[in-house]
Structure 1
Amino acid sequence: MRTKSLLHCFSCSGAKVLIAAEELKETVEEILPTLMEQNVSVYILTDECTTAGMHSFKDKISQASGEPLPIRVRSRVTLGSPAVYIYTSGTTGLPKAAMINYQRLWAMSFLQSIAGVCSTDVMYINLPLYHTAGFMGFTGAIERGITIVLRSKFSASQFWEDCRKFNVTVIQYIGETMRYLCNTPEKYNDKNHKVKIAIGNGIRADVWKEFLNRFGNISIKELYASTEGNMSFINYAGKIGAVGRVNFFHKRAFPYALIKYDTEEGDPLRDSKGFCMEAAKGETGLLISQITQKAPFIGYARDLQQTERKRLHNVFQKSDLYFNTGDLLSTDQEGFLYFQDRIGDTFRWKGENVSTNEVSDILTMAHCIEEANVYGVQIPGQEGRAGMAAITLREGVQFDGASLFKHVEAYLPAYARPRFLRIQSSLSVTGTFKQMKGKLVGEGFSPDRVTVPLFFLDEKLRSYQPLTPQIFHTVESGGLKL
């Protein structure tokens, strides 16, 4: 599965050169024959390379001229030209390459300016640069001309020490990182730092309050955006829990709406005339944004089908066109916007999007599983939703928790592995044969509500073990780390 995903990600971009870090050499070697068939040039960041079909790259960097590139090299580059591809799990299947053109890249890069970052600031980035958030922090730092401090991996225990050591004034976050920081043991010097601005998304209201109480008066700039989306919000006012506020000028320049949505059928609700209906204040609705020349939806590289799936036609009138964000939001009486959930076949866990279809495909590759319906369930005190699957067993085959553990460990990253399983005799589907998730999500993983056998992923025993009421209460109370 890993090699299949890697080849897919590379091929859909149309790239002809692959440059990989030295530690990824073995991974690249697994797909090298296919790359060679496609006439792709492969370089490894080393001074020497003896593998046939691969070339060293560090030695070539040292030989490169220090002069600016000739104008002719970029003479055909415009604001509409592709600048970078950022891969998103989207809602189904393999990752999709969202094309970011130079116009969008500049827009993303101005975020720090909007948030109040100036050229004398020092920014701390501990998110992967292939993640939209980390990438945005990096390009924004270039636009501002500021100093950035890059950490290869997030460390809650070293976070504030790093900030003090490097005089950090701006930090970047996703909801999970803020929760991890709040869960560290309290220290006498928690407020002893120079951080004044935090930019990010996904922080829960309770974590937001705790973070400010513990670490001081930091201006949190919570935002809403998506990699491939054509509009965004930022919470200028600092209203705890909100991702932004309905603004007349913003809505006029970039028309958007929250519409009524059928979570079971997975489609917007329409009136007798076939048009969508706006959600009322306080009601959760699907966020859509109009596709215009000023706010285009560029789509996914070489994937017209997935691009079309994100478009909504004839929304409020004939021939209008909107981008389906796939996110459910609500507004309060003051017009503040609040993120509620993701729809369809994706949920977020550990700061990552998990494609339920991709996880289902992996589960049904296991010897004992016939069908799998994957979804996310909420756990008190945890960001996002943990993976859970309703499964049916192959006829005449017994459930093997240890074998299934080895299977998901081999084929899925840690954040995508289902934490809970329920074994059923059959899976419910709608009249259009879509797997029904609403009732399953509502029942969660409580033994009091689920009458079929329940199991949880026990990493110590390296197996899926029966989920007893005692274990359930330990998870609910936060006594069992997931």
Structure 2
Amino acid sequence: MLPFWMTGVVAGLLSLHLLQKLFFPYFWADLKFLLKVIKYGLTVETYRLSGRICSVLDNFVKLAEKQPTKPFLVYEGKVHTYRSVDKRSNRIAQLFLKEGTLKRGDTVALLMSNEPDFIHVWFGLTKLGCVVAFLNFNIRSRSLLHCISSCAPKMLLVGADMLGTLEEILPNLQDDIRVWLMTKESTLPHVDTILDKLDDASDDPVPDNLRIAKNLKDPLLYIFTSGTTGLPKAAVISHMQVIKGAAGLWAFGATPEDIIYITLPLYHSAASLLGIGGCIELGATCVLRKKFSASQFWSDCKKYNITVVQYIGELCRYLCKQPVKEGEKHHKVRLAVGNGIRTDVWKEFLLRFGDIKICELYGATEGTICFMNHTGKVGSVGRTNFFYKLFFPFDLIKYDFQKEEPIRNKHGWCERVKNGEAGLLISKVNSKNPFFGYAGNKRDTAKKLLCDVFKKEDCYFNTGDLMVQNQDNFLYFWDRTGDTFRWKGENVSTTEVSDVIGMLDFIQEANIYGISVLGYEGKAGMASIILKPNKSFNLEKLYQHVVTYLPSYACPLFLRHQEIMEVTGTFKQQKFQLVAEGFNLSAISDPLYFLDNSKKSYVLLTKELYEKILSGQVKL
């Protein structure tokens, strides 16, 4: 028989355990995850204080020495080991070092699709101490030229399959930008080629001092984002941000034995920082695909023994829409890491494809805050608690949806929302969580900051995203604010689309906004259009214009022909009511049109076509 005091201790411990399970069910999961994050942060801080900044590329070079024959990259069945990737990137570095055209700190713009040479070039240029700007290969003409000029590159390096895009912009490219093409020969004027010179280049390492980071806050990459307003902007990505991004897969439980499947474009931070960077952090292997294929996804996973996949919400929905096949659960995938998956798709994905841990996260490319759903709570982007907010302070504040600005009280301060209410997510900017802004764009950098929020001279990063925090401290994405919306996994700038449509001689004004469509992630593009006096609506010409000058995901799927454009009290285009009405024929008396690729024109949105879109018979 146990002594009385021991019985009391046991009873007390059981009571504490039951109370913890009842009132703090996520205590141990939160603590474990928080300790992991703190440990990683302390390691980085220790390196910084000792003057030994260890970048992601430094880690890669060490791995190339430690495990030279281990596969780092698999592409279209061909294996590229850590050593072979290191040596080919050395050749790239040696080639440009010999050319003498680049020096440490110069910017090089990279226009390439997913392929091994994207990584070879990226690493090679970084070994020279250059800042590499990842260009979105979907954007065209004017927007692409804007992106190139905004980051002021000394050089533009173009992949072989981007030749048509290069020909389109070459006549208007600045004369002082030297252009290199990833081919053996070229007929284009003033364009140099790389592949014919690469075999003769040495694969010896370039001097280490060229790549060594002197400060974690030094820029390493420019990654373009539309943010919440205007044309794409070059977000400055520092060594600090790359190191943090590379820890994502590890934080979710990935290991060196994992094989990671990357189908997202490398010009996005998800694939480059979380995917490639994460693979290096682990010392693991990644399988890279040129482009996502819903029909080949699970076949690839089985063929290459994939254990970790990256996703965006649209990708998961596409997979769930595929015809059911036998043996869909017969694979080795255990983790899926990404963002933007809807609750219904999340549940269907797990039910159909098996016991896969969905690791949902939230984070803007240029942002100062990140949430990670380490508990697997369906629909949530992550959790917060007292300790998390100590390290990563953020708030959800009241927002005026019609004025499109934070609400301030009579004293001029912003106010926090209650649990369960949607609020604008803002994160505190300080020395530990700095905002690095946009290259060559002080105005837009300043616009992303909110000052004097809760007290004089405080400063917060405005994410432009609306979130809800529930009673259990789980966070849920609610919507985006500002002049942008998300479609097909890409941010669409309403200003950019409006400017392109406004180039047509019969358009007086175009109001662009995103609308919800049943069964689809994000918002589909819609344009409310006012014609110039005595001009007719040329639907075929409008179609040809948008598909020529805009990436496919930015082309408005719906048009609304209005006589008068409603504006706010400050003369901004009114969108609130237009968004609410969407493309609902029963609620709108204005003529509506739909983008029909088969007819290469916009066509009248009839009741029959409307119902086919809602039922999914017509794919968007």
Report the Cα offset of residue 57 of structure 1.
0.9
1:20 to 2:158 alignment: yes
SS of residue paired to 2:379: coil
1:141 to 2:279 alignment: yes
SS of residue paired to 1:213: helix
For 1:265, give the aligned amino acid: K
Aligned counterparts, 1:430-469, within 5 A: 430-469=568-607
Identify which of 247, 250, 253 aligns with 1:113.
250
Post-superposition CA distance 1:6-44 (Å, at most 9, x none): 222222222212211122234324444555622x22211
1:471 to 2:595 alignment: no
Report the Cα offset of residue 333 of structure 1.
1.5
Post-superposition CA distance 1:243-270 (Å, at most 9, x none): 0112211111111000000111111001
Identify which of 498, 502, 510 aligns with 1:372.
510
Task: Indicate the residue corresponding to 1:152 in structure 2.
Answer: 290
Identify which of 561, 574, 583 aligns with 1:423.
561
Report the Cα offset of residue 75 of structure 1.
5.0
Identify which of 400, 403, 406 aligns with 1:268.
406
Identity %, equivalent residues: 51
Report the Cα offset of residue 102 of structure 1.
0.6
1:169 to 2:332 alignment: no
Report the Cα offset of residue 367 of structure 1.
3.0
Aligned counterparts, 1:45-444, within 5 A: 45-74=182-211, 77-136=214-273, 137-444=275-582
Greater shift, 118-127 or 85-94, is seen at 85-94
Judged with a 3 Å threshold, the aligned counterparts in structure 2 of structure 1 residues 403 and 118 are, in CA distance, closer, same or farther, namely same
CA contact (8 A) 1:46 1:56 kept: yes
Post-superposition CA distance 1:34-91 (Å, at most 9, x none): 55622x2221112234543121212332223222221332356431221111011122
Which runs of no fewer than 5 residues in structure 1 stay unpaired? none
**Distance in 1 separating the partners of 2:174 and 2:294:** 42
SS of residue paired to 1:37: coil
**Distance in 1 separating the partners of 2:322 and 2:352:** 11
For 1:185, give the aligned amino acid: P
Report the Cα offset of residue 409 of structure 1.
1.5
SS of residue paired to 1:402: helix
CA contact (8 A) 1:287 1:329 kept: yes
Judged with a 3 Å threshold, the aligned counterparts in structure 2 of structure 1 residues 65 and 311 are, in CA distance, closer, same or farther, namely same
Post-superposition CA distance 1:152-184 (Å, at most 9, x none): 011000000000000000000000000000000
**Distance in 1 separating the partners of 2:436 and 2:183:** 36
Judged with a 3 Å threshold, the aligned counterparts in structure 2 of structure 1 residues 209 and 23 are, in CA distance, closer, same or farther, namely same
**Distance in 1 separating the partners of 2:540 and 2:213:** 57
SS of residue paired to 2:199: helix
CA contact (8 A) 2:179 2:190 kept: yes
SS of residue paired to 1:63: coil
**Distance in 2 separating the partners of 1:140 and 1:211:** 24
CA contact (8 A) 2:230 2:483 kept: no
Report the Cα offset of residue 408 of structure 1.
1.3
For 2:428, give the aligned amino acid: Q
CA contact (8 A) 2:140 2:551 kept: no
CA contact (8 A) 1:265 1:434 kept: no
Judged with a 3 Å threshold, the aligned counterparts in structure 2 of structure 1 residues 76 and 202 are, in CA distance, closer, same or farther, namely closer
CA contact (8 A) 1:368 1:393 kept: yes
Report the Cα offset of residue 478 of structure 1.
1.4
SS of residue paired to 1:179: helix
CA contact (8 A) 1:234 1:244 kept: yes
Task: Indicate the residue corresponding to 2:51 in structure 1.
Answer: none
**Distance in 2 separating the partners of 1:336 and 1:35:** 48
CA contact (8 A) 1:92 1:346 kept: yes
Judged with a 3 Å threshold, the aligned counterparts in structure 2 of structure 1 residues 35 and 426 are, in CA distance, closer, same or farther, namely closer
CA contact (8 A) 1:90 1:346 kept: yes
Post-superposition CA distance 1:267-298 (Å, at most 9, x none): 10011110001111111110000001000000
**Distance in 1 separating the partners of 2:297 and 2:478:** 29
For 1:43, give the aligned amino acid: W
Report the Cα offset of residue 460 of structure 1.
1.9
For 2:401, give the aligned amino acid: T
**Distance in 1 separating the partners of 2:561 and 2:189:** 49
Report the Cα offset of residue 401 of structure 1.
1.7
Judged with a 3 Å threshold, the aligned counterparts in structure 2 of structure 1 residues 77 and 15 are, in CA distance, closer, same or farther, namely farther
CA contact (8 A) 1:32 1:53 kept: no
SS of residue paired to 2:277: helix
Judged with a 3 Å threshold, the aligned counterparts in structure 2 of structure 1 residues 194 and 268 are, in CA distance, closer, same or farther, namely same
**Distance in 2 separating the partners of 1:437 and 1:130:** 31
**Distance in 2 separating the partners of 1:424 and 1:29:** 38
For 1:80, give the aligned amino acid: K
Which runs of no fewer than 5 residues in structure 2 stay unpaired? 1-138
Report the Cα offset of residue 210 of structure 1.
0.1
**Distance in 1 separating the partners of 2:525 and 2:337:** 27
Post-superposition CA distance 1:400-443 (Å, at most 9, x none): 22221112121112111111111111111111111111111111
CA contact (8 A) 2:311 2:338 kept: yes
Greater shift, 108-117 or 10-19, is seen at 10-19
**Distance in 2 separating the partners of 1:266 and 1:474:** 34
Report the Cα offset of residue 470 of structure 1.
2.1
CA contact (8 A) 1:223 1:244 kept: yes
Task: Indicate the residue corresponding to 2:33 in structure 1.
Answer: none
CA contact (8 A) 1:364 1:371 kept: yes
Greater shift, 64-73 or 443-452, is seen at 64-73
Normalised TM-score (structure 2): 0.76
Number of matched pairs:
481
Judged with a 3 Å threshold, the aligned counterparts in structure 2 of structure 1 residues 75 and 473 are, in CA distance, closer, same or farther, namely closer
CA contact (8 A) 1:275 1:314 kept: yes
Report the Cα offset of residue 131 of structure 1.
1.4
For 2:565, give the aligned amino acid: L
Report the Cα offset of residue 356 of structure 1.
0.7
Task: Indicate the residue corresponding to 2:88 in structure 1.
Answer: none
SS of residue paired to 1:83: strand
**Distance in 1 separating the partners of 2:212 and 2:495:** 43
* Structure of larger gyration radius: 2
Judged with a 3 Å threshold, the aligned counterparts in structure 2 of structure 1 residues 403 and 14 are, in CA distance, closer, same or farther, namely closer
For 2:546, give the aligned amino acid: V
For 1:200, give the aligned amino acid: G
CA contact (8 A) 1:423 1:452 kept: yes
Write 1 or 2 for the structure with the bigger share of helix. 2
CA contact (8 A) 2:310 2:336 kept: yes
For 1:37, give the aligned amino acid: D
**Distance in 1 separating the partners of 2:168 and 2:489:** 28
Give the CA RMSD over aligned residues.
1.5
